[in-house]
Amino acid sequence: MNGAALALTTDGVSGTEAVAARLAAGLRPGDLIALDGPLGAGKTAFVRGLASGLGVDPRVVKSPTFVLHHVYGAPPRLHHLDLYRLGPGAGIGLLDLDGLLESAPAAVEWAGYADLEPWRPLRLLLDIAGDQLRHIEVRAPDDAPPRLVAAWRAAVAGT
Ligand SMILES: Nc1ncnc2c1ncn2[C@@H]1O[C@H](COP(=O)(O)OP(=O)(O)O)[C@@H](O)[C@H]1O
Ligand SMILES: [Mg+2]
């Protein structure tokens, strides 16, 4: 497979939700999805798609910008974090990511604000490519768990 298969451009929010829902099929507790990109790039929309793919009502997904952490499902099916308010160099020790990941996968918005390398995330970069167009690509795939990269390739291929 070539590098292009690691990226796609969606045309509308439903496309972003759909590729995320397909990725969710390959996720399990312990998996971390790190999302970066500017405001409006579709990070929260992507998490809505993950939730949907994990069997959670996507309407419960809200931007947790003012909350830092939402958990969806009981027992947990997805953790949703947003580091925006913490800003660059965010300390995340209090969030107990290890503990959260025991119960479910996690998605983190503004992931670049913290050092998440110890958790070996799948890093996705979202960018605004037009009114309804959002480019989504995986960053540093060689550093990510191969299983997660494979799940992402399968999600992209399913579009
Ligand atoms: N292809 C697309 N994918 C995702 N969102 C899109 C797309 N096209 C337009 N949008 C709009 O862009 C905005 C994305 O918002 P949101 O998911 O909250 O972004 P972020 O969390 O990155 O700030 C929404 O208003 C959504 O309707
Ligand atoms: Mg958001």
Size of the chain, expressed as the number of residues it contains? 159
Query: For domain 3-157, is the CATH number 3.30.56.10?
Result: no
DSSP per position, 35-93: EE--TTSSHHHHHHHHHHHTT--GGG----TTTSEEEETTTTSEEEEE-TTT-TT---G
Confidence of residue 5 (pLDDT cuts 50, 70, 90): confident
pLDDT at 134 over 60: yes
Instruction: List, for residues 95-131, the tens digit of each pLDDT value.
Output: 899 999 999 999 999 999 999 999 999 999 999 999 9
Cα–ligand 1 centroid distance for 49 (angstroms): 12
pLDDT at 87 over 60: yes
Cα–ligand 1 centroid distance for 151 (angstroms): 22
Cα–ligand 2 centroid distance for 2 (angstroms): 30
Counting atoms of ligand 1 from 1, which one is nearest the CA of 39? 23
CB under 5 Å of ion ligand 2: residues? 43-44, 63, 109
Q: What value does the mean pLDDT of the chain take?
A: 93
pLDDT at 14 over 50: yes
Instruction: List, for residues 17-68, the tens digit of each pLDDT value.
Output: 999 999 999 999 999 999 999 999 999 999 999 999 999 998 888 876 667 8
CA distances from 88 to 29, 91, 113, 148 (A): 27, 9, 4, 26
Pocket probe for ligand 1: among 85, 113, 134, the residue whose CB has the most ligand atoms within 8 Å is 134
Cα–ligand 1 centroid distance for 63 (angstroms): 11
Ligand 1 site, residue 16, Cβ cutoff 6 A: yes
Confidence of residue 2 (pLDDT cuts 50, 70, 90): very low
- Looking at residue 64, what is its pLDDT? 62
Q: Phi, psi at residue 36, to the nearest 5°? A: -135, 165
For the entire predicted model, the pTM comes to: 0.95
β-sheet bridge partners, residue 126: 136
**First and final C-alpha spacing in the chain:** 16
Over residues 131-145, mean pLDDT: 96
